[in-house]
Amino acid sequence: MKKATFTKMTAGTQEDYVPIVEAAMVHSENLPERIIEHLNMLKDDFGGFAVDRYEHCLQTASRAFRDGRDEEYVVCALLHDIGDILAPANHADFAATLLEPYISEKNYWILKHHGIFQGYYFFHFLGLDRHMRDRYKDNEHWKDCVEFCAKYDQNSFDPEYESLPIETFLPMLKNVLSQTKKSIYKAEAS
């Protein structure tokens, strides 16, 4: 396999970047499988809940799917807590950043803020303000995030709920990740 010849980027040529771009394309084709591998790491991690984090994600996605939500929304529901074990202090940011190039601004906003919005259901038990989400009340997606937490997230800790298998969601994940909606490289203001 051809590789770049530079040892520092300042010495790179256009020819050097051909194998790098080719490798990146192959790498991105396997992204759905790598995401599922990471999601599998949530199995048997209960974090004190009645179901493990993997089952919680399946339940959240199953509820959204059964409610007729589109593929992008269902994928966001599936992956909303994927960062729990690698980024416990900012898991919502982790999920939002992972999916940002592939999803709408609305779904990105829901993912990014769902942790604070989910706090409505338990922050007061920890001595925190359960209405912390209200600082975002003027945002156009506030109601959407409230709805996500109320209908799909806060109620997906049920050991008796029959989740759909992960295989149901893999084609959706592949579809959502097959096309970027925005570049991760934002144009700088001059």
Contact 71, 79 (CB under 8 A): no
- Rounded to an integer, the average pLDDT of 107-124 is 98
φ and ψ at residue 159, rounded to 5 degrees: -60, -20
Report the chain's terminal Cα–Cα distance, integer Å: 39
Would you say residue 33 has pLDDT above 90? yes
Rounded Cα distance between 132 and 123, Å, is 9
| Span 35-69, pLDDT tens digits | 999 999 999 999 999 999 999 999 999 999 999 99
The token pair at 187 is 């144009």
Q: Can you identify the CATH homologous superfamily of domain 18-176?
A: Hypothetical protein af1432 (1.10.3210.10)
- Whole-structure pTM value: 0.90
User: What are the residue boundaries of the structural domains of the chain, listed by start?
Assistant: 18-176
Q: Where are the alpha helices (DSSP H) in 82-129?
A: 91-99, 105-118
